Amino acid sequence: MPKLRLPKATLALPAWVWLLAFFAAPVGLIIWYSFGYKPSIFGTHANDILSLDRYAEALSPTFFSTFSNTLWVGVVGTLACLIIGMPVAYWMAVKVPVAKRGLLIAAIMIPFWTNFLVRTIGWQIILAPQGWLSQGLQAVGILDGPLEILYSRSAVLIGVIYNYLPLMILPLFVAFDRVGEPLREASKDLGAGRLQTFLRVTIPLARPGIIAGLLLVYIPLMGDYITATVLGGAKGNMAGQLVAAQFQSAQNWALGSAMAVILILTILLSAAVLGLIIWLATLPFRSHYRLRLGAEA
Amino acid sequence: MSETATKRIALDRSSREGAPQGTPPAARAKPRRSVSDRLFAIWGILVLLFLFAPIIVILVYSFNTGRLLIAFDGFGIDPFLTILNKPAIQNAVWVSIRSGVLSALFATAIGTLAGVAMARRPGKWVGWFLAVLVLVTVTPEIVDAVSLLPWVVFLGQDLGITIFNDGIFRLVVGNSLFSIAVVSYIVRARLVGISESLEEASADLYAPPLRTFWRITLPLAMPAVLAGGLLSFTLSLDNTIISSFVSVSGTTPWPVYVLSAVRSGLRPEIASVSTLMLIVTLLSLVLVAWVLKRSGDSATEIARTMAGS
């Protein structure tokens, strides 16, 4: 029987079509809108005159401070997640007995799968000036007055660190776990101290996981909208809210689209710059010989 | 420092040589419980407490009998009873569940096909397709949201394709993007690890391609398909940003209801419903872990599958 040869990607065709129709096409549409303008009070967008004016408007001092604020929260939040999460991932992968790991992974994942918005509301309760934390700190004598942290950039920072920390810990755990005990033992047998083993063996081999963790945290964090809405108030604005406001309240789709495009470009560019900085900073620790995991078996 | 280090290595060696073959690493790690090990454990437990803090707060405040969520008044089950008299809340949860199930089914079907194709029909196209999936994953949700809104309005009102004016359908479209990517990754990862010999044997025994797919490929991929499906369900239940943009009044999903309550004033019922939803999410997670465990994956592999890497 002659067989009908379908093209290789036939099974993926529905996914292709769906993603083109509801991802590529709409994103393409807002890129197109971003070159237009808002024609009147009631119109949302018009494209009969094309210009880059909306980009200039989006980067004007009024909005620029929000973009730089977002970048600050993004970079500081991601680094804080790395610093807080790395010892936890190392502890889970190296120190904790294998039998208990499953439970710990589940414990890390539970907050991750609880409603994002509700968790953030939990922080709103904790950080409230009349809340338990505030009263406790005053009773102990650490604070003189009520805790004045809610609706500020610091509250947003705490919120984003909290919300994205599991996304850092999980890939780091997988990476540290893959390095495995024998290689660390070998390094120690060859005379390296603990710190040297960590810096020269564990970290270089876990690099893909570290990079994955940084990206998994940094990208959604930069586009965050909910944390800043719930905890930020007027002082802790982020770019996501700026974009949302142009579409929801100001009804200026052209400006909102330009802001969305700038947000994506900021994320991509700053991730590239951050990557370059990390690459340069780790150069002194790089050894001449590269060990590939999985190749030694 | 060097002296203690030598001792430790010596001790470690002796304990390893003394231990019978096949002793788990945990058993021989016991003798060297140093200060740094304890510091690691303390730090780990502190971070876990940090991760659980707001969830515990929500659990406690879901029994708040006061009028406002944020001001704790007394302990009681009143807020849970209030839910019964609030059709808006019940409706919102019901919309979430319906759109969540539909998106999960849809994303799992499409994503499984794509994952099977990537694993079994490799070629240059896989690189392109993965690039699109990565783009979907890295695009901030707010950008997806603001771009989907004008698009569905255009399709529904300007082009007159009426299904795009349907609230549930819009939510399914919004939820599906990320879920399709997740399911495709997981199914591909599973099948890439399994040799194609069974499918070849089936074809040699004259099974038509469709029967091979149903009887061989799909059962092999099943743990990943189920895991992907349940993950897309929880992801859809959680989807706030895209939903808040595309949703139509009357079909407000639960997270969007909460988001509007953040602006107008949070009441304790919100915490009570969240407690109930948390239980549902936890049960579905336990189900995922159980399915993966039954198929023989270790805890690490489960984490890897769920983290999508």
Nearest CA in chain A to B1: A193
In the block, tokens 């465990």 appear at B293
Q: Which pLDDT belongs to residue A87?
A: 93
| Set of chain A residues whose Cβ sits within 8 Å of the Cβ of B50 | 162, 165
Q: Chain-wide mean pLDDT for chain A?
A: 85
Task: Give the domain range for residue A222.
Answer: 72-236
Nearest CB among A19, A123, A264 relative to B143 is that of: A264
Contact flag A174-B241 (C-beta cutoff 8 Å): no
Contact flag B55-A119 (C-beta cutoff 8 Å): yes
The residue-averaged pLDDT of A243-248 equals: 88
Nearest CB among A11, A114, A224 relative to B281 is that of: A114
Contact flag B302-A111 (C-beta cutoff 8 Å): no
pLDDT tens sequence across B172-214: 999 999 999 999 998 998 888 888 888 888 888 988 888 888 8
pLDDT tens sequence across A131-158: 888 888 888 878 787 888 888 888 999 9
Chain A nearest C-alpha distance from B203 (Å) = 13
Q: B168-187 burial, b for 16+ CB within 10 Å, e for fewer? A: bbbbbbbbbbbbbbbbbbbb
Q: Which pLDDT belongs to residue B3?
A: 43
More confident residue, A112 or B304: A112
The ipTM assigned to this model is 0.84
Residue A283 lies in a domain: no
Residue A64 lies in a domain: no
CATH number at residue A205: 1.10.3720.10
Residue A216, pLDDT above cutoff 60: yes
pLDDT tens sequence across A165-202: 998 999 999 888 888 777 888 888 888 877 888 877 78
Query: Where is A69: in which H helix or E strand?
Result: helix A61-90
Residue A112 lies in a domain: yes
| Set of chain B residues whose Cβ sits within 8 Å of the Cβ of A219 | 138, 140
Distance CA B54, CA B47 (A): 13
Query: Where is A121: in which H helix or E strand?
Result: helix A116-127
Residue A278 lies in a domain: no
The residue-averaged pLDDT of B137-152 equals: 89
Domains: count for chain A = 1
Residue B222, pLDDT above cutoff 50: yes
Contact flag A264-B259 (C-beta cutoff 8 Å): no
Residue A52 lies in a domain: no
Residue B247, pLDDT above cutoff 70: yes
User: Are B115 and B269 in contact, with CB atoms under 8 Å apart?
Assistant: no
User: Are B242 and B170 in contact, with CB atoms under 8 Å apart?
Assistant: no
pLDDT tens sequence across A73-87: 999 999 999 999 999
Residue A191 lies in a domain: yes
Residue A152 lies in a domain: yes
Q: B33-56 burial, b for 16+ CB within 10 Å, e for fewer? A: eeeeeeebeeebeebbebbbbbbe
Token duo for residue B124: 């240059």
The residue-averaged pLDDT of B76-86 equals: 86
Residue A219 lies in a domain: yes
Phi and psi torsions of A37, nearest 5°? -155, 170
Nearest CA in chain A to B309: A171
Q: Which pLDDT belongs to residue B68?
A: 84
Task: Give the pLDDT band (50/70/90) at residue B13.
Answer: very low
Chain B nearest C-alpha distance from A288 (Å) = 26
Among A233-242, B120-129, B138-147, where is mean pLDDT lowest?
A: A233-242
Question: Residue B156 CB: number of other CB atoms within 10 A?
Answer: 18
User: Are B177 and B136 in contact, with CB atoms under 8 Å apart?
Assistant: yes
**Which amino acid would we find at residue A239?**
A
